[in-house]
Amino acid sequence: MARGPVAPPSGTVGVIANPMSGRDVRRLAARARRDSPEEKQNQIARAVVGAAAAGAQRFLLVPDCFRISRGAVESLNVGARFDFLDVGPLETKPSDTLRTAAAMRAAGADALLVLGGDGTSRIVATAWPDAPMVPMSTGTNNVFPVMQEATVAGLAAGLVATGAVPLALAATQAKVVRAVFADGATDVAVVDAVVLADDDVGNLLPFEPGRLRALVLARVVTQAVGLSLLGGVLGPDGFADDLGAEAGCAAEGTPGARPLLAAVSPGLFRRAHVTAARRLALGEVAVVEGPGVVAFDGDRTRALAPGERCELRVERSGPFVIDAARALRVAGAKGVFEDRHFHDGLERATGLACC
């Protein structure tokens, strides 16, 4: 799906860092790493320097309770402007990210650097459905964001934000799972939407696979941790493939169910019991029915009453995900970095000559 009319690139990069990613209760139930505020701060600093080296002149940030964003840039001297947006009271809730993404869109961000997990990217996609973004993994279960060096992620965002590399050459529009409830309400997942039996809205613990009843995937990633790999009974599909997947699951002991050992969270294995699985064409509707709780990218957001239906479909209508490798290949072919100068204030502190 093509993007609508957009303003010419202005060299503006938005930085969205979820201060709570990598810190939730799942660390008590699994073996996920804990990302400290200091590590996020260092990642942001490296990404901002990378984007500035690519020519970005303006960065949009939002204050946070741990001073992650402000601490990351307050000592940087890279010839760029740092604008901190007022998005209202911060509560370390998803609504903070929702307001931040909307504010950065309104402020003219040409590209986003998004630090968080699948859930963080989902909230950004809710506020800005076709956002141009580099998702950087700092969460628990990560299929949508990837582990990559922050400097390189920043370079890619900066190249797109300045127009040195056109978005069309650097990015692919992501598939998402779009949900429509019987009352007309909608929601979205960037990786998976599931129905869980005997669960609660707002529960933050890892899923018990025995409670899974239905699963719709935007992507099947067999090397991932989380529910995306359960679709692996069908074989993997790529980010660019125009396919999704649907699977039915049941409680242990259900006749005909196929037991499948799965890493449901980092360092945590459980057995799921798959009753059926099939590919979904883009736009094809999969209907799920209550009772149960619907979770989007791990966030249990809505309860379905007995007999209440919800339509799920996989669409290519999500964010434009910037591929750093692609962006840098295009930049190299165009000679973007030839005879280029960049002045970093770090040279004064280290005594080393810069460029």
Say if residues 14 and 124 touch (Cβ distance below 8 Å). no
> What phi, psi does 282 have (nearest 5°)?
-60, 130
pLDDT for the residue 192: 94
Structural class in CATH, domain 12-173+319-350: alpha beta
The answer to whether the predicted template modeling score (pTM) of the entire model surpasses 0.95 is no
Mind listing the pLDDT tens digit for each residue in 215-258?
Answer: 999 988 877 787 777 776 666 666 778 999 999 999 999 999 99
Q: In the chain, which segments carry CATH 2.60.200.30?
A: 176-315
97, pLDDT greater than 70: yes
The average pLDDT across 32-61 equals 93
Query: What pairs with residue 188 in β-bridges?
Result: 178
- Kindly list the distances between the CA atom of residue 118 and the CA atoms of 21, 26, 40, 114, 328, in Å, as whole numbers in the listed order: 10, 14, 16, 10, 24
Mind listing the pLDDT tens digit for each residue in 283-332?
Answer: 999 999 999 999 999 899 999 999 999 999 999 999 999 999 999 999 99
Nearest Cα to Cα of residue 32 among 144, 140, 137, 120: 140
Three-state secondary structure readout of the chain: CCCCCCCCCCCEEEEEECCCCCCCCHHHHCCCCCCCHHHHHHHHHHHHHHHHHCCCCEEEECCCCCCHHHHHHCCCCCCCEEEECCCCCCCCCHHHHHHHHHHHHHCCCCEEEEEECHHHHHHHHHHCCCCEEEEEECCCCCCCCECCCHHHHHHHHHHHHHCCCCHHHHEEECCEEEEEECCCCEEEECCEEEEECCCCCCCCCCCCHHHEEEEEECCCCCCCCCHHHHHHHHCCCCCCCCEEEEEEECCCCCCCCEEEEEEEECCEEEEEEEEEEEEEECCCEEEEECCEEEEECCEEEEEECCCCEEEEEEECCCCEEECHHHHHHHHHHHCCCCCCCCCCCHHHHHCCCCC
pLDDT for the residue 240: 78
Mean pLDDT of the chain: 91
Please give the CATH architecture assigned to the domain spanning 176-315.
Sandwich (2.60)
- The more confidently predicted of residues 320 and 1 is 320
Nearest Cα to Cα of residue 111 among 278, 330, 274, 321: 321
45 vs 51: CA distance, rounded Å? 10
Q: In the chain, which segments carry CATH 3.40.50?
A: 12-173+319-350
CA 283 to chain centroid, in Å, comes to 22
pLDDT for the residue 69: 96
> What phi, psi does 133 have (nearest 5°)?
-145, 155
Phi-psi region of 11 (alpha: psi -120 to 50; beta: other; left: phi over 0): left
